[in-house]
Amino acid sequence: MRLTHIKPLGFAAVISTNEFKNGSHIEVDGTIFKILEFQHVKPGKGGAFVRTKLRKVEGGSVQDKTFRAGEKFRPVRTESRKMQYLYDSGDTAVFMDSRDYEQIEIPRDVAGDAMRWVLPNDEVDVLFVDERPSGVQVAVAIDMKVAQTEPGVKGDTASGGGSKPATLESGVTVQVPLFIEEDESIRVDTRSGEYVSRA
Protein backbone atom coordinates (compact mmCIF):
# COMPACT_ATOMS: atom_id res chain seq x y z
CA MET A 1 0.00 0.00 0.00
CA ARG A 2 1.38 3.40 -1.04
CA LEU A 3 1.33 6.11 1.57
CA THR A 4 0.85 9.68 0.48
CA HIS A 5 2.26 12.30 2.77
CA ILE A 6 -0.16 15.03 3.69
CA LYS A 7 1.39 18.34 4.67
CA PRO A 8 0.29 19.55 8.07
CA LEU A 9 -2.48 22.11 7.66
CA GLY A 10 -0.78 24.58 9.93
CA PHE A 11 1.95 25.20 7.35
CA ALA A 12 1.12 28.19 5.09
CA ALA A 13 -2.52 27.14 4.94
CA VAL A 14 -3.67 30.60 5.98
CA ILE A 15 -2.48 34.16 5.50
CA SER A 16 -3.26 36.85 8.06
CA THR A 17 -3.94 40.54 7.37
CA ASN A 18 -0.52 41.40 8.81
CA GLU A 19 1.10 39.35 6.01
CA PHE A 20 -0.66 41.25 3.22
CA LYS A 21 1.57 42.40 0.35
CA ASN A 22 0.60 44.45 -2.70
CA GLY A 23 0.26 42.11 -5.66
CA SER A 24 -0.42 38.96 -3.64
CA HIS A 25 -3.68 37.05 -3.95
CA ILE A 26 -6.21 35.95 -1.34
CA GLU A 27 -9.50 34.10 -1.41
CA VAL A 28 -12.48 35.83 0.21
CA ASP A 29 -15.80 33.93 0.37
CA GLY A 30 -14.75 31.66 -2.51
CA THR A 31 -13.66 34.54 -4.77
CA ILE A 32 -10.01 35.21 -5.62
CA PHE A 33 -8.74 38.78 -5.37
CA LYS A 34 -5.44 40.51 -6.03
CA ILE A 35 -4.39 42.99 -3.32
CA LEU A 36 -3.83 46.35 -5.04
CA GLU A 37 -3.27 48.35 -1.85
CA PHE A 38 -3.93 48.07 1.86
CA GLN A 39 -3.70 50.20 4.98
CA HIS A 40 -3.59 49.15 8.62
CA VAL A 41 -5.84 51.41 10.72
CA LYS A 42 -5.71 51.64 14.52
CA PRO A 43 -8.61 53.80 15.69
CA GLY A 44 -8.59 55.34 19.19
CA LYS A 45 -11.60 53.21 20.13
CA GLY A 46 -12.46 49.72 18.95
CA GLY A 47 -10.33 47.09 17.28
CA ALA A 48 -7.73 47.66 14.58
CA PHE A 49 -8.73 46.91 11.01
CA VAL A 50 -7.27 46.75 7.52
CA ARG A 51 -8.69 48.77 4.65
CA THR A 52 -7.96 47.21 1.24
CA LYS A 53 -8.47 47.81 -2.46
CA LEU A 54 -8.88 44.44 -4.19
CA ARG A 55 -9.20 43.45 -7.84
CA LYS A 56 -11.37 40.44 -8.62
CA VAL A 57 -9.33 37.99 -10.72
CA GLU A 58 -12.39 37.03 -12.78
CA GLY A 59 -13.84 40.08 -14.43
CA GLY A 60 -11.29 42.56 -13.09
CA SER A 61 -13.67 44.70 -11.02
CA VAL A 62 -12.06 46.66 -8.17
CA GLN A 63 -13.64 46.67 -4.71
CA ASP A 64 -12.88 48.31 -1.39
CA LYS A 65 -13.06 45.87 1.51
CA THR A 66 -12.35 46.23 5.21
CA PHE A 67 -11.15 43.32 7.38
CA ARG A 68 -10.56 42.93 11.10
CA ALA A 69 -6.85 42.97 11.99
CA GLY A 70 -5.59 39.39 12.22
CA GLU A 71 -8.38 37.97 10.05
CA LYS A 72 -7.16 34.91 8.14
CA PHE A 73 -7.57 33.86 4.50
CA ARG A 74 -6.54 31.04 2.21
CA PRO A 75 -3.41 32.10 0.34
CA VAL A 76 -3.64 31.52 -3.39
CA ARG A 77 -0.83 29.89 -5.36
CA THR A 78 0.48 32.17 -8.06
CA GLU A 79 2.99 31.40 -10.75
CA SER A 80 4.38 33.45 -13.60
CA ARG A 81 5.14 31.71 -16.90
CA LYS A 82 6.99 33.08 -19.92
CA MET A 83 4.65 32.93 -22.91
CA GLN A 84 4.72 34.20 -26.46
CA TYR A 85 1.74 36.17 -27.74
CA LEU A 86 0.67 34.62 -31.05
CA TYR A 87 -2.49 36.36 -32.23
CA ASP A 88 -5.82 37.88 -31.33
CA SER A 89 -8.84 35.68 -32.00
CA GLY A 90 -11.60 38.16 -31.24
CA ASP A 91 -12.62 37.80 -27.60
CA THR A 92 -9.43 35.96 -26.66
CA ALA A 93 -5.68 36.35 -27.03
CA VAL A 94 -3.74 33.21 -27.98
CA PHE A 95 -0.43 32.51 -26.22
CA MET A 96 2.15 29.74 -26.45
CA ASP A 97 4.04 28.41 -23.45
CA SER A 98 7.75 28.92 -24.16
CA ARG A 99 8.66 25.67 -22.37
CA ASP A 100 6.34 23.06 -23.87
CA TYR A 101 4.82 24.98 -26.85
CA GLU A 102 1.31 24.36 -25.53
CA GLN A 103 -1.14 27.02 -26.73
CA ILE A 104 -3.73 28.61 -24.49
CA GLU A 105 -6.46 31.16 -25.07
CA ILE A 106 -6.90 33.92 -22.50
CA PRO A 107 -10.08 36.02 -22.56
CA ARG A 108 -9.38 39.66 -23.40
CA ASP A 109 -10.91 40.90 -20.14
CA VAL A 110 -8.54 38.59 -18.19
CA ALA A 111 -5.45 39.58 -20.21
CA GLY A 112 -6.31 43.18 -19.33
CA ASP A 113 -4.87 46.55 -20.30
CA ALA A 114 -1.37 45.12 -20.67
CA MET A 115 -2.35 43.85 -24.14
CA ARG A 116 -2.22 47.45 -25.41
CA TRP A 117 1.57 47.15 -25.24
CA VAL A 118 1.95 43.66 -26.74
CA LEU A 119 2.62 42.78 -30.39
CA PRO A 120 2.44 39.32 -31.97
CA ASN A 121 5.57 37.25 -31.16
CA ASP A 122 6.34 39.36 -28.06
CA GLU A 123 7.24 37.37 -24.96
CA VAL A 124 5.34 38.30 -21.81
CA ASP A 125 4.81 36.96 -18.30
CA VAL A 126 1.39 35.35 -17.88
CA LEU A 127 0.27 35.16 -14.28
CA PHE A 128 -1.49 31.96 -13.23
CA VAL A 129 -3.59 31.90 -10.07
CA ASP A 130 -4.47 28.41 -8.83
CA GLU A 131 -3.43 27.06 -12.27
CA ARG A 132 -5.76 29.47 -14.14
CA PRO A 133 -4.43 32.36 -16.25
CA SER A 134 -5.36 35.61 -14.54
CA GLY A 135 -3.37 38.36 -16.19
CA VAL A 136 -0.57 39.44 -18.50
CA GLN A 137 2.42 41.37 -17.20
CA VAL A 138 4.58 43.54 -19.44
CA ALA A 139 7.79 45.43 -18.74
CA VAL A 140 7.55 48.80 -17.00
CA ALA A 141 8.91 50.45 -20.16
CA ILE A 142 8.66 49.17 -23.72
CA ASP A 143 10.00 50.34 -27.08
CA MET A 144 7.50 50.62 -29.89
CA LYS A 145 7.38 52.18 -33.35
CA VAL A 146 5.18 55.19 -34.13
CA ALA A 147 2.72 54.07 -36.82
CA GLN A 148 0.98 57.39 -37.36
CA THR A 149 1.37 60.98 -36.15
CA GLU A 150 1.00 64.45 -37.63
CA PRO A 151 4.25 66.13 -38.69
CA GLY A 152 5.59 68.61 -36.15
CA VAL A 153 5.04 72.29 -36.94
CA LYS A 154 8.03 73.97 -38.58
CA GLY A 155 10.23 75.71 -36.07
CA ASP A 156 9.65 73.15 -33.30
CA THR A 157 12.91 71.94 -31.85
CA ALA A 158 13.81 69.14 -29.51
CA SER A 159 13.67 71.62 -26.65
CA GLY A 160 10.32 73.11 -27.70
CA GLY A 161 7.31 72.40 -25.54
CA GLY A 162 4.00 70.96 -26.60
CA SER A 163 2.87 67.50 -27.55
CA LYS A 164 0.75 65.71 -30.13
CA PRO A 165 -1.02 62.34 -30.31
CA ALA A 166 0.81 59.42 -31.92
CA THR A 167 -0.63 56.00 -32.70
CA LEU A 168 1.84 53.19 -31.99
CA GLU A 169 2.08 49.92 -33.93
CA SER A 170 -0.06 48.12 -31.33
CA GLY A 171 -2.87 50.62 -31.93
CA VAL A 172 -2.55 52.51 -28.64
CA THR A 173 -2.40 56.32 -28.80
CA VAL A 174 0.04 58.27 -26.61
CA GLN A 175 1.09 61.91 -26.36
CA VAL A 176 4.58 62.53 -27.78
CA PRO A 177 6.78 65.63 -28.18
CA LEU A 178 6.24 67.57 -31.42
CA PHE A 179 9.63 66.49 -32.84
CA ILE A 180 8.73 62.76 -32.95
CA GLU A 181 8.11 61.48 -36.51
CA GLU A 182 6.39 58.45 -37.99
CA ASP A 183 8.46 55.21 -38.02
CA GLU A 184 10.58 56.41 -35.08
CA SER A 185 10.82 54.04 -32.12
CA ILE A 186 9.95 55.53 -28.76
CA ARG A 187 10.07 54.29 -25.18
CA VAL A 188 6.79 54.39 -23.26
CA ASP A 189 6.02 53.84 -19.57
CA THR A 190 3.37 51.08 -19.61
CA ARG A 191 2.02 52.04 -16.16
CA SER A 192 1.11 55.62 -17.07
CA GLY A 193 1.04 55.39 -20.88
CA GLU A 194 3.48 58.31 -21.02
CA TYR A 195 6.30 58.96 -23.48
CA VAL A 196 9.73 58.50 -21.87
CA SER A 197 12.29 59.05 -24.63
CA ARG A 198 13.36 58.07 -28.11
CA ALA A 199 14.26 54.38 -28.13
pLDDT, one tens digit for every residue, the chain (199 residues): 444 444 444 344 688 898 898 888 888 888 888 889 999 999 888 889 999 999 887 767 889 999 999 899 988 888 888 999 999 888 899 999 988 999 999 988 888 788 999 999 999 998 888 888 888 888 889 999 999 999 876 554 555 568 999 999 999 999 999 999 999 999 999 888 999 999 8
Rounded to two decimals, the pTM is 0.65
Whether 5 is covered by a domain: the verdict is no
What gap in Å lies between CA 162 and CA 191, rounded to an integer? 22
- On whether the CB atoms of residues 190 and 139 are closer than 8 A, the answer is yes
- Give the residue numbers spanning the domain of 104: 78-137
> Based on the domain organization, do 131 and 147 belong to the same domain?
no
> Based on the domain organization, do 50 and 69 belong to the same domain?
yes
